[in-house]
Chain A
Amino acid sequence: MQLLTVSQLTRYLKASLESDPVLQGVWVQGEVTNYSASSQGHQYFSLKDESAQMRCVFFRGAGSLQNRRAALFSPLGAASVKLRNGMAVLARGRLSIYETRGDYQLYVEEVEEAGVGMLHLRFEQLKQQLQDEGLFDEERKRPLPRWPQVVGIVTSPQAAALRDMLRVLRARCPLVRVILAPTLVQGERAPEQIAAALDLLNAQGEAEVILVSRGGGSLEELWAFNEEVVARAIARSRVPVISGVGHETDTTIADFVADYRASTPTAAAAAAVQDMAEWVRALVAHRTRLTELVEDHIDAWRDELARCRRDLLRASPRGQLASERQRLDEASSRLNERMKRVLEHRQERLKSAAQHLHALSPLQTIARGYAVIRHEGTGQLVTSVTQVEASDALDIQVRDGHIRGVVWHVLPDEGEL
């Protein structure tokens, strides 16, 4: 057995409370009593029910971060509740011990009136449940069709939201056909009807995208879109669903499940169809492109034609004749040239031969003092003593004339005979 001081025990209890995860984030339902507020803005009160009560302290600024975050994801916003005695509330906070007095108390981070608070709790619980089931997963989101021709709408036929959506569709893309699946959008029967309308559009089968929509309203008026039946009907829809509920600041469970979340009915309609102005722009661009392309084709064929013409001319018989003729011309002029050169060469040779001949002529020899002797009768050249006898008549040619004479005597040289 261990002996403890009061402080030790209190600290031990405090530590064990603060290490309990359940007690560190707990919602408590009860009625406010013994309410007081300090000049610093801290609020002190007790929560009680028929048989018990507990101390609570709500420090100024406590839990404000959580409240801000909750405001982003809850339909309730961060409206702060003005507490008073007798008010039924839900308070969220952590349990701890105020050591000085030994009181255990709830350190409040968030307080809501019981009615709204219950809706908030249901919202958070359903959201958590569906999230755990994977209904909000990005992979589940189906792409919206690029060219829906039939747009389904689930909303009230009387609602301003429907008029807004039809106005947007008419302005952006009057090519589409709208199929309205009428339903209540608020009240007890609304959730079942909305789910049935979604199923009906799926069964009918023409709609390529479905708008689930309602105009702005109070939390209670929008509540149908936070009901599980609606969430499940959206999840099982084969056709992609666009949600557009309330104003920009409203977020419903339907928004989380939908394939595309639009902030308002108008935005949902705009998201469903392409703006006709885009098509007009696309058509203009296509016309320009078409003209450019056909001009490219014509240019390409024109180039091709020019190339063919060149090839054809090169290959034609007429062209071939012309080039043969040209070759012939060239050959004949080469021939002429050659002939001319040959002739010139011959002339040249002739001339030099003539000169040579001249140099060899006996006349030249005679001129130097020699004589040419021939038989007077036969004209035969006499170059030897054996050719003549005494009394033969001879013709002796000298430089400037002929001498006629008769042989007296023939005297051969010694050793010649």
Chain B
Amino acid sequence: MSFWDQALEIARVDMRIERRLGDVSRIVLPFAVVALLVFPLALGVDLSAISLIGPAVFWAVGILFGMQVALRQAASDSPERRDLYSLLGVDPAARFVGRSLSGSVLMVGFLAVLLAAMIVLYSPRLPQGWPAPMILGSFLAAIGLTELGTLAGEVTAGLRNRTALASLIVVPLALPLVIGGSQTLESLARDTGILPWLLLLVATDLALAVAGVALARPLEEASR
């Protein structure tokens, strides 16, 4: 079985498990939308302030709850399953790619729903021509966050309290993604050019992909 066949098989099974358990669609996403709702309630009836903070709250809630999406595999991955994959001859890099693929699909869907909810709840003043940069920025941030979560899951595999430890790894390293994603919209509003921020997101995604693939084997061997 080729590298990509292995990666796609792992992604396919991950998606099937998500469809059955609904970790993202039935647990994380509703709570994230509730979190979006809490901010306007706390601010009262100051509609202009609510409208102003909408995109910032979207990114804050998106990253915090998106971390749960990104780390869901770390929480469910058992040592027996990891051993089984090794003994079936699965390339650890293919496993990383497969999990990043399925996680990215879920994360993109998660951020898309969250974005729609933010627009409805906050009525933000968005600059003209916002949809394409906002969607592209969210898409790139979603991929990076998933890669980061998958990588953090691998780094902490076999450790006690791995979910908590993985979160501690993800939060600081997600900063380029938060900055790149949020500044894409800001730069559009200020008319200062969005390209540098999109490039920051692309570079971060690529760096995480290279690190994930290159470190997959050593991390798997070290986790036992």
Say if A and B assemble together.
Answer: no
